[in-house]
Structure 1
Amino acid sequence: MATTDRQATTLALAHALSAAERGLAVIPLSRTKLPALRSPHRAGPAPDPPSCHGECGRFGHGVHDASTDPARIRELFAAAPWATGYGIACGLPPHHLVGIDLDTKSETDSSAALRELALRHLFTIPPTVVVLTPSGGRHLWLTGPPEAVVPNSAGRLAPGIDIRGAGGYLVGPGSRTRHGVYTTAPGTSHLPPAPCPPALLRLLLPPPRSPRAPHGTPDAHDGRGLVHFVLAAHEGQRNTRLFWAACRAYENGIGPALLDPLLDAARATGLTEREARTTIASAARMTGHHP
């Protein structure tokens, strides 16, 4: 068993060094997929100082330890000889990696949910690195612009779809965990991470905060703009525009107040009330609200 662990650690280090050559910052992971090095502050009187992101000079600060320097990576693995995998930090230059985690454990089909989002928001996922998980899930690697800070989220985009952004990490291919080995999907290992489609990036970024009107009433300009956006829909755009407008309404906290105006606008474009209610309910669920 000890020999097997040493072999797994050696392989993990080799994969981590290879990833670093591609500009991906890495950290060692244990079989649980968690950072292999525990916090140096855990024995103190309080939890980790939130202000310490490795400035103390010791290892054990999770993704803040991530590096592309081969010497430092070897030091990290030497300090964690039980590591059997490696994590790739997201959001760091030069790639500003964004991970789309399609989970198979969800009650809904996460791949189908992503396809539905792509159809509704008119984007396609370009050819990119795809990592297969032991449970049958998939990690899609995309890159974001330097100025965009994509947050981590679980199920916010759609049920079964988790996002790994700034401050998060992806389990690297070649890592061995309790449940098996992460592998690169055939034909994608030599691809560079593809740029995130702008329409998808807008969904991943936090919605801009807008001033709320007094007494909980929606901002008249924002509400009218969304209703007019739906009214301007041509045949073939009606559901897509209604879904987009409803998502923006719920994200800005005016979804319930705009329900009737959006329904009226949708019916005016030719949708039935049932179709419109179904689309608005889908938008509510996609944004984490109850229709």
Structure 2
Amino acid sequence: MIITEAPSKFTDLEKMSVQEILSNINKEDQTVPAAVSKAIPQIEELVEGVVARMQQGGRLFYIGAGTSGRLGILDASECPPTYGVPHGLVVGLIAGGDTAIRKAVEHAEDDEALAWKDLQAHNITAKDSVVGIAASGRTPYVLGGIRKASENGIFTGGISCNSNTELSAVADVGIELIVGPEFVTGSTRMKSGTAQKLALNMISTTVMIRLGKVRGNKMVDMQLSNKKLVKRAVKMIMEDTGVSEAKAKELLEAHGSVRKAVDSFRAVSS
């Protein structure tokens, strides 16, 4: 039996009090960062490969089914507003298409040919990278996509939550986040999903930093899509330049981003 399908260490969950359920879930969740930490060497290898290709004009694709697919889409969708990169630089694909983001599409994850078709719709090339996400490490949609990508000279990675998975075997870089049995047996949206989310945070954040999308510790290229972010941007400009709030607002309105506002001020001041 694979680890993600192993019986929970807890029994008679329905007999637990609410406090006991919450506390036990929390105790299990505390083991997740340690599992992710053990995979840092593999995560590093993946990031290095992705960055090298993105510096040559490549893109990053995530492919997955169910929870894994939704996590990939979430990570991809947050890159443009956070780092000001174009939509389409990081792409999340889920078995069954956009409908599956909200509602499961029957048997979509069992189609080994579907992911490659989805990738081809984006005119994928050897400059790109594809990361398959599957807690079990054996989801046909993901395996088929990674196999075809590899056959076509595309750099690939796999994120799973079992040991020695088929996904790790077919990907260039296999990342295995071994979090153990779930609190509710087989419910991989729990610890496995949390581990995948942590790894994806690490991958996309590190990639964007290496691509120069962070200065110091600030999101200087973030999209100014609401009042909160505009206020944050004004504060960042004030901190980096020492100007007043009014001047910072003026610079931001004139240049449209923290990076451009700060660079313009420094150019004039030098």
TM (norm. structure 1) is 0.27
Higher relative contact order (CA 8 A, sep 6+): 2
* TM-score normalised according to structure 2 size: 0.29
The answer to which structure has the higher helix fraction is 2
Larger Rg over CA atoms: 1
**Higher percent of residues as strand:** 1
